[in-house]
Structure 1
Amino acid sequence: MDDNGTDHESRQHVEHQILERDRVTIVQYPDSQAGKPITHAEVWDVNATYGSSISDTENLYSPFSSQMDWEIAQWAKLHGLSSTAFSDFLSIGGVNEHLDLSYKNSRELNGIINKQLPGRPKFHHEQIIVAGEAFCIFYQDVLECIKALYGDLDFVDYLVFSPECHYTDDDETVRLYSDMHTETRRDNIPIIISTNKTQVTVFCNKTAYPIYLTIGNIPKEIHRKPYWHAHILLAYLPTTHLEHITNKASCRQSAANLYHACMACVLSPLKKAGLDGLAMCSGDGISCHCHPFFACFVGDYSKQVLATAVKTTECPKCDIPPDKLESSTAPFEIHDLHAILDTLATIDVGDLEFVQPVIHPFLERLPFANIFQAITPNILHQLYQGLVKHLLHWLAQGCGPIEIDVRCRRLPPNHHICLFMKGITGLSHVSGAEHAKIFCFILIHGLLDFLYLAQYLCHSSETLSLLDEALVLFHDNKQIFVNLDAYHATNHKDEFTQMTQWLECKEKIMHHAKFIRWRLHDNPSHHPRPLELSFDQTQTLTKHPSAKAVSFQSLVLDYGATYIHEALTRYIVQQNHLDKSLSCRRLEDLAANVLLPFCSDAVYHKIKWLSVDARGHGDPLVTVDSVHVKLCYCVGQIRAIFLIQERDAQSLFPLTNQPPRHLAYIEWFTPFPSTPDSRHGMYKITRIVCLGERVASIIPVSNIACSVHLIPKFGPVAPHHWMSNNVLEECDTFFINCYIDRHNFVTLR
């Protein structure tokens, strides 16, 4: 963004306020008793209780005999190794003897885990009778799951109980909604139920219907990180199609009643706990009197219809007629839950004008629960998948599928962009994540503006409207572990019994790993929760260069860094004259007299940004960005990343002004114009060329903020010689893609 874009900046004032979390004004709800302790046990009482059930208190890795014994067991259970493969490995002659393990095969290892490791919530198996047919349901005690999350040591610093009002200004006029404690006045534990039906095998068309649970006291930033394990698999619901019921209407009615009967069975303990409350102990040993209540339901439209018992095509939240859904002015009211329950209570008295398919909704006996307010916006299905399908069909009719696919194959690469080298018009079974990636470069700016703004502004002060984006990200990662991996670990006979046993074993191993980490760190003292839970990024390069000695000639020929020698000498002069203002002519004269004591250099091929959580730990599993160009005031193409050896730097620069270790050779594009293109809202830039040469310079790598993605100006027809790997060289004019993520959208729109 350039310094002259004042009009553009004023337009984006509100959006920038939303992102600048350090400017948030927090007002505590008066007289809140949430989180007030009733007893205070010894610090880390949860781990002390867990450790008391371990037989050998002297052995840090008990019940495993040694560190190797434990680490091999952890590796075998958490890294996708099948039981048969692990047993075959241990049966190799000499392996078990050399490793000195306390188990000889998978069966003995499972015995240690099941019998000697303290228990986690166990799965129960019951049958539900609907329409004379018995169906199996596997579920855990919902209260035990809540207690497991509430008492998890990893969350003790971040659990939020007291309601707060967040404002984006000091005058407290612009309200900000983010986590649940910013939207409700209830001093309780809000329960979030989510679901994402998964097909676990194609050939037999078998599906798993998992129900997940988490608590709203955990900030949503944690939900985005799968490694935090902020969600628990609560149940597997039956996935029957009720083939024995031939009448379609009766089949749908029975399926809906089966779902509600199963959910009522799973959530029934919340009735008494929600009204009377119960004592729960957090990870720091503090006991509180808590009232867990059903607050949010996250699922796609078909699951929302099922949970709310409305008809397909109707809104699951309000009474607006289906033919008025596209209207922005039609009046509507949230469905009246009490009126519906009163009507159902009289279903056997007299004749009704309609037949309600669900006789006993699962929440009819749950206190404080209103399913119509609990439904959240579905970002994945309602926005990404819903819009992309219609958009691609419309574009194919208007532009032709061949031209669309040709342009997709000619986009330059970027960390946030998925290159569909075979095009996108012929894709089938497209996932939600792929739809989101397609949206990044199918630039219909009206729809994209709506999509991004909807994710910021889709809230209401009257409802618990936690956006489900974090849970969508969670589902994309979790369903592989809980459904696909669990299913493939079975022999495909009575699979759900085996899947729940497999998951119980995994949960015990992961919980025991936390306990061992606690013991190895000598029972660390408690650290208070920070004021703001924020997730930052840290810039990193590989420990060793990608190439240790690359000549200047190779940098020119192989990397395209045509004028790197001249750029480096100018950089040296500028660093040596920071206190002076040099004219261009004077700069060139001084640079011509610089003699470089080296003719080759170490070169890096990539810069990465890793996520950093509030505890300061980088997440090695998530690379949030990898850079090719520079954002902010100038855009440039990185040709080379290199370092000057320390001995050479001391001869070129004053000892009091040594350069940064890592440098980058950048070829520049023109500055941002004062306003974006009025047709699509993107800024147009071109390469800067002076006297037939591309303008380039050397900058510290630390000056590079993040990547941007450039959309080539194709013209009426994309040139056939342009390809993804050469389009940055062949094309001179680009548009800066502001839709690759929300940060770029708010910064560049």
Structure 2
Amino acid sequence: MDFSCAVCKRSFSRPQDRLSHLTLTHDPKHRAHLRQLNQFEGKRFREAAASARNARTRRTLTKSRNISNLSTFSSFPMEVDAGYQAGLTNGHTDSINEDPELLDEEGSIVSEDDYLETQERQEEVAFERVMDVTAQEILEHTTVFDFLPDPVLKEEVAESVSDDDQPWVWDWHPTAGQVFGKKPTVHERWSRLFPGKDAEAIENYKPFASRLEWEVAQWVVQERVSQKSFDRLLKIPQLKEKLGLTFNNARSMLQKVDKIPERCGPWFTKRLSFKDRPDEHFIVRHRNALDAIRALWGDPAFSNDLVYKPVKLFRHPSRTSEDRVFNEMWTGGFWNAAQERIPEGGTIAPVIIATDKTSLTQFSGSKSAYPVYLTLGNIPKALRRKPGSRACVLIAYLHADKLSKVGLSDTTLKLRNYELFHRSMAVVLEHLKAAGDPDGYGVEMVGGDGVVRRVFPILATYVADYPEQCLVTCTKYGTCPKCQQKADALQDASMLAPRDQFWTIDKIQTARKELKDRGGRAVHDRTMVDDVAGGNYQPFWEGFPLTDIHRCIAPDVLHQLYQGIFKYLVEWVQQVVGEKELDERIRTLPPTHGVRHFAKGISVLSQLSGGEHRHIARVLLACLVGKLEPEGIAACRSMLHFIQLSQYSSHDHETLKYMVDTLRTWYRHREYFIDKEVRQHFNIPKFHALLHYVQSIRWLGTTDNYNTEAFERFHIDWAKEGWAASNKRDHFPQMVLFISRKEKIASYDFYRSWAGSNMPQLDTNSDEQEITATVTKLGPGSDNDSEECISVGRTKLRQYSQAPEIGQSMTIHLTKHPSEPRKKLSHILVSHSAPGFITELKRFLCSFLASSDQPAKHTTLQSSLPFDTVDVWHRFNITPMKLLDDEVEKAIVRASPISRTASIPRYDTVIVLDGENAESTAVQGCRAARLRVIFRLPETVNRYGFPSPSPLNWPAHPLAYVTWYTRFARAPDKGTGMYKVQPVVGSNGIPLGAIIPLSDIRQPCMLVPSRAEWEKGWTSENVLDQCPSFFVNNLQNKYSYQTIY
């Protein structure tokens, strides 16, 4: 059969040759004809796929009409039957032996459930029929194979951030952390208090009579069962006898709980008052801060985790300042400097204090709590961030109610609030002054392993939002609590001399001496001239050893960046772009796991939370292309990049320089918002605070050591739950008792675990460097018999080579049972919009043949596969490789096709390892792709008409069919800092793709339109299909920002 060219009438023996002729002939007529053919083929596929989608909609409408008709039809026979009820005999009843095939004929009566079930079966058959017809149409017009090379960009080898593979150098302080003996641990002391060697012995559960009694008490306290409810439970006849409980009511049960020793020492109550109002009392409920430190220090759960020495960490053996690395608090400048000031052999305990007032009531009332939290910098930050690790303790409730305004001016009332705060904190932290004195002996503390050290607890970090930072440091509101910059000069791109504790105390004492007879108001007015909020009271931190309160103030990612900087940025962008236009673009973005989809935009939201601002920050820059001038894009990009950089869990000279560079970019381009008349100045304290971030990171470690967001999470456990458990009258004593009992139960539970077994230790020293993929089927006896796990070893981490605490692998989880078992290959073409799937599958399987057995390409494509179905999954879970101690969130990647019940498909985009130089970070050797099909090859194939086992060299692990985007260019787009990609389409109009191991997917990614003008017809469901080019959004999350560069 001849195939002739429609332009020049030249004949060819194969359609492939004719297509090659059209592609290689570059005269205008041939090129125009080829373009028309591609458009025609693309239109046929879209129409064929749309017919399958529309079939469900038509059937749904028909189903609704049929159900409506069924309801109308059913009512009439029922009325007729009612009229003949009296004369009904057995002769008129249906015989149970009637032919069932005749029951559903016209005129028979069927139930609505049976009717619907029949309809669903018919719909399923109809849907399968439509799929078969559509697949046949596609196969008839996609048999032509294009032998031309992939029309993509030439692969570029991106420059590496660092080619250094040398190990990091740890210079631990030589004399710190000296051991001064050994004493019994807290659990060994408990074992004497609660004797008993046999695990089954009754005495082993003292003060409880048995294990069951202990479990009941634990359940009551942890589940917050009310005392009245528990009393009613115990009154059930024979319940106590059957369970062997010795307590008669909740009171006697709680008395046994109260016999468990306090973890952090007893609570105390301190009454404060003012001299002119001695009858007005302000109550502070607190613990001894030293007792809390001892509890953390001696907790056996931290015995293998506590760090007792500061270290200077370097990337290279040269040990220059540019090689210095900062992450944990013990790598910062403060701990290293303080260690030199204490006696040789002593151990620093950097104390981290956090305060934050929180509301207890939601809809009515005005009850608040003012908790004070304490933790230690010796505990790794990954543990401190976890509420369940018990690495942070509540040490006080400050007075939270408003002071009476009667007879007081606004300034006097403000000064009294200041004084009350500082006097209260002085009570809470008074024992730290003597304990941390470098001229003293320190405090002997027993660790969780029984080792005794001389510990010097020193106030190192104070975590608070901006208003509290001013309150703590006695700084005038509206100025900087860390430097002496004036309020009207905060927009300057420079810092003045730093504030320090002695300078602030000197200003306050000088004003007192000059105005000692004129009262606190006059002293306050005098100090405010120097931007110091002083008064006739002593700041609580005065006299604290080795402490500079101004350097203790830490960056606040939540309030300064997301609820501050970014909040301003969104407001300004909305004024420039327009709320309606910005909402329209945000609605158009494709759905991506981990990124909230704002279906109604963001202008309808009120009182945005930090979490909502975090999600908006992930997509804002992508929505501004074409709506802001390049200067506006640069200004927004610089702030968004600064927010990401500030959250790095490890910094070195290079990354800190990136932070400085982004700030310089902001100062160069911020005038854009003044030109647009949305701002008149930038004298905003939160913007000025960005200048101090690099210094704070060098001094105290990275920002995840002291983020306020972590401490706000504790409000739930230590404020709101206690309030909910109280009777709402005189609630603080009840809240204290509730928290104390929860701590006792948790401590006793951990003690019971310790008594039964030793805690396992994780091995973090694996040197695995190559990619290895294994699939493990979890059997019925495992913890999770519904999943399969693929463990993928890490590639060499170039940027963090041989760094500590790097995760060794990523994992992929699939459900044990596929979403669509034995799905027809022809149906996959249509439902997954994957016309090239069978072609790529043939190529893939052909690669497993010996080179001498591999047929020609056209023979391969014309050959039949030895199977016609595969198992298909619609999603999988992936946990990307861990970078340092960052907590990587599990992501869900979807390839959801159209089906009888879902007319809107979803095919997520991913980063694929596509070359030998591919790494776990950066884009070199990687490629963006769209996931179309997740499947596994069958275990049985058809050989000569008989079922046979599949070849042994076929992969048994899951596979994926992806369609490609163009390779990454050498550098990202200058304006957005994002890489630009386009879908790769063959000369026949079909997207080019490949079959890859599922383990080659490194991470999910988010693609956003890169065009300046977005078409009105684009929606979140179709934008990935209709937009011709995209940016790879590296602001999708922290992990994407650190790996897509």
The TM-score with structure 1 as length reference comes to 0.88
Alignment of 1:314-463 (within 5 A): 314-329=479-494, 332-345=496-509, 348-351=512-515, 354-355=526-527, 356-357=534-535, 359-443=537-621, 444-455=636-647, 456=651, 457=656, 458-460=693-695
378 and 296 in structure 1: CA distance in 2 versus 1, 3 angstrom threshold: same
Alignment of 1:67-466 (within 5 A): 68-79=212-223, 101=245, 106-116=250-260, 119-130=263-274, 132=277, 133-173=280-320, 174=322, 175-183=324-332, 184-185=335-336, 186-187=338-339, 188-202=348-362, 203-244=364-405, 246-275=408-437, 276=440, 277-329=442-494, 332-345=496-509, 348-351=512-515, 354-355=526-527, 356-357=534-535, 359-443=537-621, 444-455=636-647, 456=651, 457=656, 458-460=693-695, 464-466=699-701
Q: Is the 8 A contact 1:639 1:667 kept in 2?
A: yes
Deviations 1:79-119 (A, max 9, x none): 56555556566666776666555556644443332124665
Q: Is the 8 A contact 2:927 2:967 kept in 1?
A: yes
| Counterpart pick for 1:573 among 846, 850, 854 | 846
Alignment of 1:621-640 (within 5 A): 623-627=889-893, 628-631=908-911, 632=923, 633-640=926-933
663 and 93 in structure 1: CA distance in 2 versus 1, 3 angstrom threshold: farther
Q: Is the 8 A contact 1:54 1:116 kept in 2?
A: no
3-state SS, counterpart of residue 641 of structure 1: strand
Task: Provide the rounded CA distance (Å) in 2 between the counterparts of 1:89 and 1:548.
Answer: 48
3-state SS, counterpart of residue 501 of structure 1: helix
Q: In the TM superposition, what is the alpha-carbon distance from 1:281 to its structure 2 partner?
A: 0.9
Deviations 1:21-56 (A, max 9, x none): x84322223xx32211100346xx332222222255
Task: Provide the rounded CA distance (Å) in 2 between the counterparts of 1:223 and 1:537.
Answer: 24
Aligned partner of 1:703 in structure 2 is 1000
462 and 389 in structure 1: CA distance in 2 versus 1, 3 angstrom threshold: closer
Q: Is the 8 A contact 1:268 1:366 kept in 2?
A: no
Task: Provide the rounded CA distance (Å) in 2 between the counterparts of 1:138 and 1:73.
Answer: 27
| Counterpart pick for 2:747 among 499, 506, 511 | 511
Q: In the TM superposition, what is the alpha-carbon distance from 1:658 to its structure 2 partner?
A: 4.6
Aligned partner of 2:983 in structure 1 is 687
Aligned partner of 2:77 in structure 1 is none
3-state SS, counterpart of residue 600 of structure 2: coil
727 and 208 in structure 1: CA distance in 2 versus 1, 3 angstrom threshold: farther
Q: Is the 8 A contact 1:86 1:105 kept in 2?
A: yes
Q: Is the 8 A contact 2:326 2:697 kept in 1?
A: no
Task: Provide the rounded CA distance (Å) in 2 between the counterparts of 1:48 and 1:389.
Answer: 52
Greater displacement, 484-493 / 464-473 = 464-473
Deviations 1:275-303 (A, max 9, x none): 23111111111111111111111111111
Deviations 1:402-429 (A, max 9, x none): 1212222222222331222222123222
CA RMSD of superposed structures (Å) = 3.5
Opposite residue 157 of structure 1, the aligned amino acid is N
Aligned partner of 1:736 in structure 2 is 1032
Greater displacement, 442-451 / 271-280 = 442-451
350 and 388 in structure 1: CA distance in 2 versus 1, 3 angstrom threshold: closer
Q: Is the 8 A contact 1:284 1:526 kept in 2?
A: no
Matched, 1:39 2:181: yes
116 and 274 in structure 1: CA distance in 2 versus 1, 3 angstrom threshold: closer
65 and 543 in structure 1: CA distance in 2 versus 1, 3 angstrom threshold: farther
Structure 1: runs of 5 or more not aligned: none
3-state SS, counterpart of residue 541 of structure 1: strand
3-state SS, counterpart of residue 288 of structure 1: strand
| Counterpart pick for 2:816 among 544, 552, 558 | 544
Task: Provide the rounded CA distance (Å) in 2 between the counterparts of 1:154 and 1:409.
Answer: 47
Q: Is the 8 A contact 1:392 1:425 kept in 2?
A: no
Opposite residue 443 of structure 2, the aligned amino acid is L
Q: In the TM superposition, what is the alpha-carbon distance from 1:681 to its structure 2 partner?
A: 1.4
Q: Is the 8 A contact 2:154 2:967 kept in 1?
A: no
Aligned partner of 1:643 in structure 2 is 936
Task: Provide the rounded CA distance (Å) in 2 between the counterparts of 1:665 and 1:135.
Answer: 68
Q: Is the 8 A contact 1:374 1:464 kept in 2?
A: no
Task: Provide the rounded CA distance (Å) in 2 between the counterparts of 1:240 and 1:430.
Answer: 26
Opposite residue 337 of structure 1, the aligned amino acid is Q
Task: Provide the rounded CA distance (Å) in 1 between the counterparts of 2:224 and 2:587.
Answer: 35
605 and 230 in structure 1: CA distance in 2 versus 1, 3 angstrom threshold: same
3-state SS, counterpart of residue 305 of structure 2: coil
Task: Provide the rounded CA distance (Å) in 1 between the counterparts of 2:261 and 2:471.
Answer: 39
Deviations 1:98-154 (A, max 9, x none): 655555664444333212466543332222224633111122211111111111222
636 and 219 in structure 1: CA distance in 2 versus 1, 3 angstrom threshold: same
3-state SS, counterpart of residue 329 of structure 1: coil
Greater displacement, 599-608 / 487-496 = 599-608
Q: In the TM superposition, what is the alpha-carbon distance from 1:735 to its structure 2 partner?
A: 1.2
Aligned length: 727
Opposite residue 281 of structure 1, the aligned amino acid is V
Aligned partner of 1:53 in structure 2 is 193
Q: In the TM superposition, what is the alpha-carbon distance from 1:732 to its structure 2 partner?
A: 3.8
Q: Is the 8 A contact 1:576 1:653 kept in 2?
A: no
Task: Provide the rounded CA distance (Å) in 1 between the counterparts of 2:868 and 2:249.
Answer: 59
Task: Provide the rounded CA distance (Å) in 2 between the counterparts of 1:53 and 1:476.
Answer: 36
The TM-score with structure 2 as length reference comes to 0.64
Task: Provide the rounded CA distance (Å) in 1 between the counterparts of 2:224 and 2:882.
Answer: 27
Q: Is the 8 A contact 2:302 2:448 kept in 1?
A: yes
Opposite residue 198 of structure 2, the aligned amino acid is E
Q: Is the 8 A contact 2:234 2:249 kept in 1?
A: yes
Task: Provide the rounded CA distance (Å) in 2 between the counterparts of 1:146 and 1:692.
Answer: 68
3-state SS, counterpart of residue 290 of structure 1: strand
669 and 421 in structure 1: CA distance in 2 versus 1, 3 angstrom threshold: same
Q: In the TM superposition, what is the alpha-carbon distance from 1:571 to its structure 2 partner?
A: 2.5
Task: Provide the rounded CA distance (Å) in 2 between the counterparts of 1:334 and 1:82.
Answer: 53
Q: In the TM superposition, what is the alpha-carbon distance from 1:308 to its structure 2 partner?
A: 0.1
3-state SS, counterpart of residue 739 of structure 1: coil
Structure with the greater alpha carbon radius of gyration: 2
Deviations 1:647-682 (A, max 9, x none): 569967643x35142222222222112222222111
580 and 91 in structure 1: CA distance in 2 versus 1, 3 angstrom threshold: farther
3-state SS, counterpart of residue 589 of structure 2: coil
Greater displacement, 294-303 / 606-615 = 606-615
3-state SS, counterpart of residue 638 of structure 1: strand
Task: Provide the rounded CA distance (Å) in 2 between the counterparts of 1:99 and 1:557.
Answer: 62
56 and 420 in structure 1: CA distance in 2 versus 1, 3 angstrom threshold: farther
268 and 534 in structure 1: CA distance in 2 versus 1, 3 angstrom threshold: farther
Task: Provide the rounded CA distance (Å) in 1 between the counterparts of 2:269 and 2:852.
Answer: 79
Greater displacement, 143-152 / 121-130 = 121-130
Task: Provide the rounded CA distance (Å) in 1 between the counterparts of 2:583 and 2:981.
Answer: 24
Q: Is the 8 A contact 1:296 1:464 kept in 2?
A: no
Greater displacement, 703-712 / 302-311 = 703-712
Task: Provide the rounded CA distance (Å) in 2 between the counterparts of 1:467 and 1:524.
Answer: 29
| Counterpart pick for 1:62 among 205, 209, 217 | 205
Aligned partner of 1:491 in structure 2 is 727
Q: Is the 8 A contact 2:809 2:881 kept in 1?
A: yes
